[in-house]
Amino acid sequence: MKTQEHIVAVVEPTRDGEATLDIAQEVVRRGGRATVVVLVTRKTMSDIRAFADSESLTVPDASEIYFERLAATYASRVGSPDTAAVVTESASSSRVVFETAASARPTSIVMPQRLANRRGWRASIARSQVPVLIAPPSIAAA
């Protein structure tokens, strides 16, 4: 029995995640599955605090709303009802991201080149049990 292709796409919402999403969309078009791991940066947290202030919410309440919307947005952009979107709260911990990815049991992981160039991320890539695709910056981000 053939294993269904399942890709984990690592994305930063304010950065060059478009290329990783494009690759995930292609996997879904071929009949595979996708899980999107969305990294939350300092900029994202700043946006959440501004959202909380503007809506008179606590930061935890604003975070919950923001993360739910963010996850739904990325899942819908990949184009499959089977797409799972996971939001993590730190772009600095590659180990946590790879543990999250491994728990989804992917056949491959795709991540932005900018992250792959970081020392901690390189070590996690080297230890990965599945192939890791490094996506170049999107044309719009270059």
pLDDT digits (tens, 9 = 90+) for 96-138: 888 888 888 899 999 988 888 888 888 889 989 899 999 987 6
Q: Does residue 141 fall inside a structural domain? A: no
- What is the torsional sign of CA 107, 85, 133, 40? negative
Q: Does residue 119 fall inside a structural domain? A: yes
Number of domains in the chain: 1
Q: Which residues contact 58 (CB under 8 A, 6 or more apart)?
A: 52
Closest to 116 in 3D by CA, of 138, 137, 85, 99: 137
Q: Does residue 86 fall inside a structural domain? A: yes
Q: Does residue 51 fall inside a structural domain? A: yes
Q: Does residue 140 fall inside a structural domain? A: no
Contact 110, 47 (CB under 8 A): no
Domain ranges, residue 58: 6-135
Q: Does residue 96 fall inside a structural domain? A: yes
Prediction pTM value: 0.82
Q: Does residue 1 fall inside a structural domain? A: no
Inter-axis angle of helices 119-127 and 94-103, nearest 10: 30
Tokens found for residue 129: 């049990």
Domain with 62 in it: what CATH number? Answer: 3.40.50.620
Best-predicted range by mean pLDDT (35-44, 78-87, 92-101): 35-44
Q: Does residue 48 fall inside a structural domain? A: yes
Q: Is 58 helix (H, G, I), strand (E, B) or coil?
A: coil
